[in-house]
Amino acid sequence: GAVVSQHPSWVICKSGTSVKIECRSLDFQATTMFWYRQFPKQSLMLMATSNEGSKATYEQGVEKDKFLINHASLTLSTLTVTSAHPEDSSFYICSARGQSALGEQYFGPGTRLTVT
């Protein structure tokens, strides 16, 4: 149990375009989802926390107009990188926490974004 999927697993886009990444909890309802960014050989950097039906809470320094997060249902959250630039190239990972979970997060496999 506790499986989280992400789509796509990798994407290449041109500078100035927008990219949407989907995160789904497949076998549980996720009341809270998290979006992370990870640079090579570095730890996870939390970008935002989203609760179903509510606006996302962004970490300091993360541009909410650039990284749009929508948590429309208990099984789906999306991250849209708007007007992407090469510096947005990174590994993006989502995680989900269920209603009854006592804190542990279940992570998706990640999405590798390359902006050319």
Partner 1 sequence: EDQVTQSPEALRLQEGESSSLNCSYTVSGLRGLFWYRQDPGKGPEFLFTLYSAGEEKEKERLKATLTKKESFLHITAPKPEDSATYLCAVQANTNAGKSTFGDGTTLTVKP
Contact positions toward partner 1, by CB under 8 A?
Answer: 2, 4, 6, 32, 34, 42-44, 46, 49, 57, 91, 93, 95, 97, 102-110, 112
**β-sheet bridge partners, residue 23:** 6, 77
Cβ 75 to partner 1 shortest distance, Å: 17
Residue nearer to partner 1 on the CB measure, 89 or 105: 105
CA distance 49 to 13: 25
Cβ 103 to partner 1 shortest distance, Å: 4
Residue nearer to partner 1 on the CB measure, 67 or 106: 106
DSSP states of 32-94 as a string?
A: EEEEEEE-TT--EEEEEEEETTS--EEPTT--TTTEEEEEEETTEEEEEE-S--GGG-EEEEE
Cβ 83 to partner 1 shortest distance, Å: 26
Residue nearer to partner 1 on the CB measure, 51 or 82: 51
Cβ 11 to partner 1 shortest distance, Å: 14
Closest Cα to residue 96, out of 80, 113, 112, 73?
A: 73
